[in-house]
C-alpha cells in the first residue's frame, strides 16, 4: 500500500499538469476547472483501485484511459463534446473513435503544455496569480504546497487562483501560441514568470527544503520546455536556464541543519553539483549566439563566477563589471547592494563604504550586514550598531542567529 501511495504521489506530480493541459486545449480554457476536477477524480479512483488491486502494469496508460472516459462522459452529458469537438473532427474528415479525440500522445502533451504556459503567462493576469496558476496547472502542486511556498493560507491561495481563472475566461484567452511576430515580446513575460518561480524556491522563507528544491526544479523544467520549440529557443531562454543551473548547483551547499542558510564564503564546494554547473556552462555558451544581451545573460555570467571558488581579484573585477552593466539595464536596490559587495571584494573596504553609505536601504537587513562588514576595523562601534540594526530587521530566526554570530565575533575581536 505504501508503495502504491508513493507511486501515485510521484505520478500526480508528473501527469496532473499534462492531463489538465490536454483536456483544456480540447475544450477551451473556460473549462479549466472542470479539467482539474476530472483529473483529480481520476487520481482519486486510482488511489482507491490500486490500494485494493495493486499497481496496474502501465499506471500512466491506466490514468489516461480513465481520464478520457471521465472527460467524454462529462462533456457528452453537457453536450459540449458534440458542439465543440465533433464538428472539428468531421471538418477535418477524420474517422476517429470519440476517445481518440482526447489525445494523450507525447507530442500533443508537449504542445498543450507549451500553449498552456503562454496562456497562463498572459500579461493581463497579475504576476502573483500567474505564479500561482503555473504552480497549480503546470507543475501539479497542491493548494497546501502553494500556500506554504507563499507563506500564506489555503483560503487566500484558492481565492487568488479563482480570480486568475475568472480573468482567463473574461479575457477569452485561448490556448495557442501567439503569432510569430509577438513571440519574442510575449516570451519576455513567460521567462519573467519562470524566473520569479525559481526565485520563490531559491530565496524561499519556508523551512520545507524539499518544497524549495521542487520549486526550483519545476522552474528549470519549464525553461527546458521552451528549448524544444525553435521560436522560443532563443539566446535569452538559454541564458535563463544557465542562470538557474548555476544557482541550483549550489542548493545543497546553501543548506545546513534546521533550515539554516550557509553563506557563500562558508560553503563546502564538494557539495556543489558539478553536473548542473556543466549544464549551466553548456547553456551559457548557447546563449552567446545572439546579438542581444539580456539581464539573464549578465546574471548567468555572475552566477557562473560564483561557481568558481578561487577568490582572485580578476574574478571580483569581472563580477563588478557585470553588475555595472546589469544596473544600466535593470536597476534594483538588491543589484546595487550586490554590486557594492563586489566592489568591496575587488577594490577594498574604503571605496565600497563610500558607495554603500549612498544607498541608504534603511529597511533592508542585508544592507546593514554589509555595512557591518565594511565598518569592521575601520569603526567597530558603527560596525556593531549596523549588525544590531540588521538583527532587528531580520525576518527569520536563522538570519538572526547568523547576524548574532557576527556581533559575537566583533565583540571577541574587540576584547582580545
The structural domain count of the chain equals 4
pTM of structure: 0.86
pLDDT of amino acid 95: 44
Cβ atoms of residues 175 and 28 within 8 Å:
yes
On whether both 86 and 156 belong to a single domain, the answer is no
On whether both 133 and 193 belong to a single domain, the answer is yes
Residue 260 lies in a domain: no
Residue 238 lies in a domain: yes
Question: How many other CB atoms sit within 10 Å of the CB of residue 359?
Answer: 16
* DSSP label of 362: T
Residue 266 lies in a domain: no
**Cβ neighbourhood burial of 190 (10 Å; 0-12, 13-18, 19+):** buried
pLDDT at 5 over 80: no
On whether both 180 and 64 belong to a single domain, the answer is no
pLDDT tens-digit readout, 174-223 = 898 999 898 988 999 999 999 999 998 888 777 777 888 888 999 999 99
The per-residue pLDDT of the chain, averaged, comes to 87
Measured in whole angstroms, the distance separating CA 363 from the mean position of its chain's CA atoms is: 26
On whether both 193 and 280 belong to a single domain, the answer is no
Last residue of a domain, one of 75, 104, 133: 104
Residue 318 lies in a domain: no
Question: How many other CB atoms sit within 10 Å of the CB of residue 127?
Answer: 13
**Cβ neighbourhood burial of 119 (10 Å; 0-12, 13-18, 19+):** buried
Side-chain half-sphere CA neighbours of 202 within 13 A: 20
What does the block give as the cell for 208? 520545507
Q: How far apart are CA 262 and CA 253, in angstroms?
A: 7
pLDDT tens-digit readout, 321-365 = 999 999 999 889 989 999 999 999 999 999 999 999 999 998 999
On whether both 83 and 122 belong to a single domain, the answer is no
pLDDT tens-digit readout, 362-386 = 899 999 999 999 999 899 999 999 9
207: Cβ contacts below 8 Å, ≥ 6 apart: 258, 259
Q: What is the mean pLDDT of residues 261-276?
A: 83
pLDDT of amino acid 82: 60
Residue 313 lies in a domain: no
Residue 352 lies in a domain: no
* For the chain, percent of residues with pLDDT exceeding 90: 52
Q: Does residue 184 sit in helix, strand or coil? A: helix
Cβ atoms of residues 295 and 326 within 8 Å:
yes
> How open is the CA angle 384-388-391, to the nearest 5 degrees?
140
pLDDT at 260 over 80: no
pLDDT at 132 over 50: yes
For 231, phi then psi, to 5°, come to -70, -20
On whether both 159 and 177 belong to a single domain, the answer is yes
Cβ atoms of residues 54 and 139 within 8 Å:
no
**In which domain, by residue range, is 286 found?**
234-254+272-293
Residue 372 lies in a domain: yes
Residue 311 lies in a domain: no
On whether both 160 and 200 belong to a single domain, the answer is yes
Amino acid at each position: 500500500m505504501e508503495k502504491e501511495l508513493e507511486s501515485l504521489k510521484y505520478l500526480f506530480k508528473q501527469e496532473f499538469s499534462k492531463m489538465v493541459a490536454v483536456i483544456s486545449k480540447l475544450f477551451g480554457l473556460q473549462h479549466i476547472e472542470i479539467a482539474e476536477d476530472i483529473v483529480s477524480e481520476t487520481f482519486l479512483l486510482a488511489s482507491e483501485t490500486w490500494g485494493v488491486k495493486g499497481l496496474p502494469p502501465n499506471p500512466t496508460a491506466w490514468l489516461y484511459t480513465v481520464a478520457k472516459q471521465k472527460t467524454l462522459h462529462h462533456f457528452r452529458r453537457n453536450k459540449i463534446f458534440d458542439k465543440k469537438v465533433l464538428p472539428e473532427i468531421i471538418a477535418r474528415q477524420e474517422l476517429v473513435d470519440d476517445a481518440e479525440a482526447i489525445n494523450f500522445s507525447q507530442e500533443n502533451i508537449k504542445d498543450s503544455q507549451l500553449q498552456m504556459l503562454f496562456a497562463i503567462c498572459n500579461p493581463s493576469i497579475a504576476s502573483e496569480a500567474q505564479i500561482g496558476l503555473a504552480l497549480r496547472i503546470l507543475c501539479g502542486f497542491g493548494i497546501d504546497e502553494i500556500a506554504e511556498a507563499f507563506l500564506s493560507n489555503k483560503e487566500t491561495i484558492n481565492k487568488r487562483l479563482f480570480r486568475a481563472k475568472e480573468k482567463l475566461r473574461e479575457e477569452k484567452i485561448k490556448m495557442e501560441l501567439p503569432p510569430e511576430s509577438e513571440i519574442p515580446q510575449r516570451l519576455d513575460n513567460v521567462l519573467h514568470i519562470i524566473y520569479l518561480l525559481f526565485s520563490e524556491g531559491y530565496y524561499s522563507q519556508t523551512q520545507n527544503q524539499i518544497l524549495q528544491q521542487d520549486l526550483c526544479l519545476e522552474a528549470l523544467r519549464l525553461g527546458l520546455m521552451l528549448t524544444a520549440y525553435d521560436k522560443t529557443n532563443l539566446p535569452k531562454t538559454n541564458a535563463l536556464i544557465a542562470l538557474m543551473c548555476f544557482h541550483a548547483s549550489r542548493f545543497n551547499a546553501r543548506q545546513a541543519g534546521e533550515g539554516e542558510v550557509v553563506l557563500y564564503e562558508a560553503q563546502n564546494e564538494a557539495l556543489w553539483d558539478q553536473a548542473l554547473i556543466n549544464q549551466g556552462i553548456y547553456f551559457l555558451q548557447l546563449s552567446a549566439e545572439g546579438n542581444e544581451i539580456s539581464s539573464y545573460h549578465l546574471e548567468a555570467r555572475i552566477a557562473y563566477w560564483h561557481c568558481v571558488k578561487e577568490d582572485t581579484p580578476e574574478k571580483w573585477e569581472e563580477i563588478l563589471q557585470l553588475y555595472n552593466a546589469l544596473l544600466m539595464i535593470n536597476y534594483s536596490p538588491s543589484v546595487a547592494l550586490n554590486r557594492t559587495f563586489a566592489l568591496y571584494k575587488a577594490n577594498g573596504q574604503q571605496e565600497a563604504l563610500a558607495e554603500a553609505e549612498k544607498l541608504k536601504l534603511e529597511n533592508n537587513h542585508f544592507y546593514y550586514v554589509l555595512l557591518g562588514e565594511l565598518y569592521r576595523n575601520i569603526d567597530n562601534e558603527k560596525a556593531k550598531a549596523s549588525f544590531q540594526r540588521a538583527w532587528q530587521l531580520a525576518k527569520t530566526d536563522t538570519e538572526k542567529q547568523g547576524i548574532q554570530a557576527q556581533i559575537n565575533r566583533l565583540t571577541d575581536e574587540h576584547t582580545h
